Amino acid sequence: MILNDLIQIKEKQQAARKKIVLRCCMAAGCMSSDSKGVKERLEKAVADAGLLQEVEVRGVGCMKLCCEGPLVAADPQGALYVRVTAENAPSIVAALNGGKASAGQTDPQAPFFAQQFSIVLANSGVVDPERIESYIAADGYQALHEVLHEMTPKEVVETMVKCGLRGRGGAGFPTGLKWGTVAKSSGTRKYVICNADEGDPGAFMDRSVLESDPHSVLEGMAIAAYAVGADQGFIYVRAEYPLAISRLQVAIKQAKQMGLLGAGIFESPFNFNVDLRIGAGAFVCGEETALMASVEGKRGTPRPRPPFPAESGLFGCPTLLNNVETFANVPTIYRKGADWFAAIGTEKSKGTKVFALAGKIKNTGLLEVPMGTPLRKIVEEMGGGAPDGGAIKAVQTGGPSGGCIPAQHLDTPVDYESLGRLGSIMGSGGMIVMDDSTNMVEIARFFMEFCMDESCGKCIPCRAGTVQMHHLLNKIASRQATPRDLKKLEELCDLVRNTSLCGLGQTAPNPTLSTLRFFRNEYDALLQPDPHGPDRTGHAHKHELATK
Ligand SMILES: Cc1cc2nc3c(=O)[nH]c(=O)nc-3n(C[C@H](O)[C@H](O)[C@H](O)COP(=O)(O)O)c2cc1C
Ligand code: SF4
């Protein structure tokens, strides 16, 4: 493969483009509502109407408004059909000839769509994720070519530093700094790993990116591998994501066949292969050291850092580990330039962020907005607010490691620093909206139960602490707790946060602490008076703590 081949594929795709394209969502959400059947009926109706020369029915990835799926878009008509069934699909084809579609429609100019700013999701819902030609037609693999032929690895790292991208896996670590450290680390072999474990309840951004645009992740990984000097990559993806896995398998195979993965990519000396590793779905395996242990075939438990993966990672070799969304940003950054990317977002949080909007909200689905977008704009304007006229009470960001932001802080800009100041985190992008019917103690209990179940048990503070905190939250929720119990809960939060080995335990108290910070009245309302009077020592009584 040389540049000319890439250009030829692109031109051929453009020349073959039919007058009308019916884009049918084939991501997991819509497929669970039979979008496969919808696509088949559309194809049949197009053939029956004798429109095969004019109309292309294209299977695409997520079209974002998941709650209204299956979705079908008609280009260039600009119609967006919702809740399409196999039965009413033919009427969409009839509508192309002046008939009336019996499928419902939504306004593609509504704020949910119009206010999005797509970098990561630019190809989502547009390209066919199972055809590499479709990705190439959307400028795919152009950045990899430019990087391999026009930049040194050092320059690639410098561009990443300059653009200001921060890792989208949760902590927001500067990506350029990480790439630079791996590039400088000495080792006969280096690895690149894509973290596609995505274990946060309510989060489905990474799954969607892999299902909708797998080549953007592969291209991003290849650019990263060139920058750091790696020749082998792994994508660690959970077994619960079968569609993402099969799309990745197809994408890797096609990229290899075209010489975009493998030896001598774009006729350069650069070699890079990518293999999949399927995780069993343990939340802790998303933690980088546990993930690498799992890839090595060992039990997936975290280990202390340092050494950091950048210096000693997979099989003891320097390893670059980034999140799916981090890699998916990469091709566009090199195509459009570091300055272009750095101009989007805020001073310290550059670019965009993809969120999976879920919970008590009208428009559930995926959205991508510039960093710094006010939370209110996301949930009220784009999300359409709480359904049935309810009032939004809080927004949970960051999953089990995050916190609940109350309605009075909805004007907060969504960036790493602002969310942190409110005791929450950006996390990987799960955003769960709660309305005024939500019990915040229940929310804290839910997330604590999740952490308790998912704790790997390696260190005592997390193993025993999450059980104790969950026990106390149960006691509070069932109106059997006293102020002394609440005090114990707060002490345990502090202890577990400060003494756990990995991020799971260190952040497990966050949902509890943030609900205590903003909704303490809901806890207080459930407490019973202490029969022994107030505990003046302020210390927990050992014999009152439960055991697992
Ligand atoms: C318990 C736990 C689970 C995690 N799960 C994920 C995950 O599913 N996906 C992810 O990208 N990062 C996850 N992380 C963060 C990773 O350890 C790591 O920081 C991240 O993948 C680095 O990529 P980035 O720099 O691109 O953000 C998790 C961390 C912890 C402590
Ligand atoms: S903090 Fe929890 S999940 Fe992390 S190592 Fe300790 S027991 Fe395992």
Distance 398 CA to ligand 1 centre (A): 11
Q: Catalogue the E-assigned strands of 83-231.
A: 104-106, 191-196
CA distance 227 to 229: 6
Distance 400 CA to ligand 2 centre (A): 14
Atom of ligand 1 nearest to the CA of 291: 17
pLDDT of residue 537: 52
Query: How much is the pTM?
Result: 0.96
CB-CB contact of 513 with 423 (8 Å) = yes
SS (H, E, C) 71-97: CEEEECCCEEEECCCCCCHHHHHHHHC
284 Cβ closer than 6 Å to some ligand 2 atom: yes
Residue nearest to atom 10 of ligand 1 (CA): 169
Of 165, 166, 182, 195, the residue with max ligand 1 atoms within 8 A of its CB, to mutate for a pocket test, comes to 195
**Whole-number Cα distances in Å, 481 to 334, 442, 451, 487, 528:** 56, 14, 21, 10, 6
Buried b (16+ CB within 10 A) or exposed e, 111-145: ebbebbbbbbbbbbbbbbbbbbbbbbbbbbbbbbb
Identity of the amino acid at 224: A
214: which 2 tokens?
């797998």
The burial of 4, by beta-carbon neighbours within 10 Å (0-12 exposed, 13-18 middle, 19 or more buried), is given as exposed
> What's the pLDDT tens digit per position in 328-379?
999 999 999 999 999 999 999 999 999 999 999 999 999 999 999 999 999 9
> How many other C-beta atoms can be found within 10 angstroms of the C-beta atom of residue 546?
12
Ligand 1: which residues within 6 Å by Cβ?
167-171, 173, 195, 197-199, 283-284, 286-288, 321-323, 326, 428, 502-504
Sign of CA dihedral 32, 34, 35, 40: positive
- For residue 305, which phi and psi values (nearest 5 degrees)? -120, 140
Residue nearest to atom 4 of ligand 2 (CA): 502
- Judged by DSSP in three states, 230 sits in coil
56: which 2 tokens?
């292309």
> How many other C-beta atoms can be found within 10 angstroms of the C-beta atom of residue 173?
12
Residue nearest to atom 6 of ligand 2 (CA): 459
> How many other C-beta atoms can be found within 10 angstroms of the C-beta atom of residue 252?
22
> How many other C-beta atoms can be found within 10 angstroms of the C-beta atom of residue 196?
29
SS (H, E, C) 37-67: HHHHHHHHHHHHCCCCCCEEEEEECCCCCHH
459 Cβ closer than 6 Å to some ligand 2 atom: yes
pLDDT of residue 534: 64
Place of tokens 């670590």: 173
**Residue numbers of the chain with a pLDDT score lower than 70:** 534-548
